[in-house]
Amino acid sequence: MADSKMARLARREFLWGSGAAMVQLGPAHQAERLVQGWMREQKIPGAAVAVWRRGARVWSGVYGESDVENRVAVSAATKFRIGSLSKLLTAAAAARLYEQGRLDLDAPVERYVPRFPDKGHPITARLLLGHLAGIRHYGRDEYLNRRRYENVADTVAIFEDSPLLHEPGTKYAYSSYGFNLLGAVLEGASGGSFLTCVRQQVLDPIGMRSTMADEHDRIIVNRGRYYSLANGEVTNSPDTDLSDRWPSGGFLSTAEDLALFGSAHLAGNFLKPRMREMMFTSQRTASGTETGVGLGWRIGVVEGKKVFDHGGDAVGGRAFLLLRPDEEMVVAWVSNLTFSRIGEKEVMAIAQCFEMG
C-alpha cells in the first residue's frame, strides 16, 4: 500500500519544499481532490497548481495532459497560456521603470507614444494600470487574430481611432487594449522593445525562466497545446497569433513561475515598500469611488481575508494568481481549456487547505 501511494504521488509529480515537515498529507490530498473534481466536472485536459508561503514552495501538483492527441502528461515545466495575468507582468515592468525614474505614471501617454492621437483629455500610465482611461476592450470579432505584429507600438493602430468610452478617470472599464497602450508607453520609456523591457525589468530579476511571450512561429520547449469545448467535447482551440496582445494577454508561464512572481511582490527587493503599497492600494474615480484595482492587481477581501489577485483567459488557457499578504501565501493555477471556470473562489479554496501550515 505504501509503495502504491508513493508511486501515485510521483506520477502526480508533487513537489515539496523546505516547509514539507510542517505540511501534512491531509491538506495536499484535500487540494488534490478539489483540483481533480473541477477538472472532471469541466473537462479540463491539463492543469498545474503551486502553493508558496513565506517565499518557499509548500506544495504543487500537475494533472492531466498537455497534449491530448499524443498523450503527453502535464509536467512542472509545461508552459500554459496565462491570458490577462500578462497584465501583471506589464504592471510590474511599469513599477520598476517608475522606481528608476524612467517612467512618470502621471504624464500624458503622448510623451512616450507620440503617434497616439489627442483624445481631448489626458490619459496617463496610472489610469491605464487601473482601467480608468476609457480605452475600449476587444470587439467581438477581435478575439482571434491571424496577423503577426512585430512590435507593441503597431498594435495601437487597432484602437487608436476609437472614441473613448468615457472621460479618463471618471469610470472603471476593463480594457486589454488599454494595457496594449501601456506596453507602447513602456517601449517609449525604456527605449527598447516591450518584450526586452519585461525580460530585463521582471523576468530576469525574479528568475522566471519559464515565462515568455507566446510567439506564434517560435519553437518553445514544453509549450502545451490549447483546447476548447464544442458541444460538451474537448476540441483543439482555433488558431490565433497573440502578438496583438502581448502586454495584455500574450504570455506563457508555469504555476511555479507565477508563484515565484507573486512571492516577489510580497517581500524581498523586487519592489520597494512604497511601490508595493502603491501597487496594492485601490485607485479611485474622480468622484472618489474606489475601483478595487490598484496598479493592475485586484484588491479585495474574501471570507475575511485580504487578497490581491487576477485571472487570465486566453484561447486555450485559463490562469489565476492569488496572494494573501497577511499569511504571505501565494496560489497559482494554470490550465489549458478556454474559459474554464476557475476563479477567486476555487483558488481561495486551495489556499484554505494549507491555512494551518
Q: What is the pLDDT of residues 285-341, one digit of tens each?
A: 999 999 999 999 999 999 899 999 999 999 999 999 999 999 999 999 999 999 999
Instruction: Using the predicted structure, report yes or no on whether residue 357 has a pLDDT greater than 70.
Output: no
| Domain 2-353 in this protein, CATH class | alpha beta
Backbone angles phi and psi of 272, in degrees to 5? -75, 155
Output the average pLDDT for the chain: 92
| Residue 139: other Cβ atoms inside 10 A | 11
Per-residue DSSP letter, 162: S
Instruction: For residues 166-192, give the mean pLDDT.
Output: 98
Per-residue pLDDT for 11 more than 70?
no
- What is the pLDDT averaged over residues 191-210? 98
pLDDT of residue 107: 98
Q: What is the C-alpha separation between 269 and 37, in angstroms, rounded?
A: 38
Question: Per-residue pLDDT for 133 more than 60?
Answer: yes
Q: pLDDT value at position 9?
A: 38
**Looking at residue 219, what is its pLDDT?**
96
Whether 266 shows a pLDDT value over 90: the answer reads yes
At residue 14 the predicted structure's pLDDT band, cuts being 50, 70 and 90, is: very low
| Contacts made by residues 32-38, CB under 8 angstroms, sequence distance 24+ | 32/61, 34/346, 34/349, 34/350, 34/353, 35/61, 35/63, 35/350, 36/63, 38/340, 38/341, 38/342, 38/346
Measure Cα distances from 335 to 38, 85, 138, 341 in Å.
11, 13, 22, 11
d(CA 59, CA 254): 14
Task: Give residue for cell 489565476.
Answer: 320
Instruction: Please determine, for residue 273, whether its predicted confidence score (pLDDT) is greater than 70.
Output: yes
pLDDT for 8 equals 38
Contacting residues for 307 by C-beta, under 8 A, at least 6 apart = 299, 300, 301, 322, 323, 324, 344, 348
Alpha-carbon gap, residue 37 to 43, rounded angstroms = 10
Rounded distance between C-alpha atoms, residue 45 and residue 74, angstroms: 9
Grid cell at residue 243 = 502578438
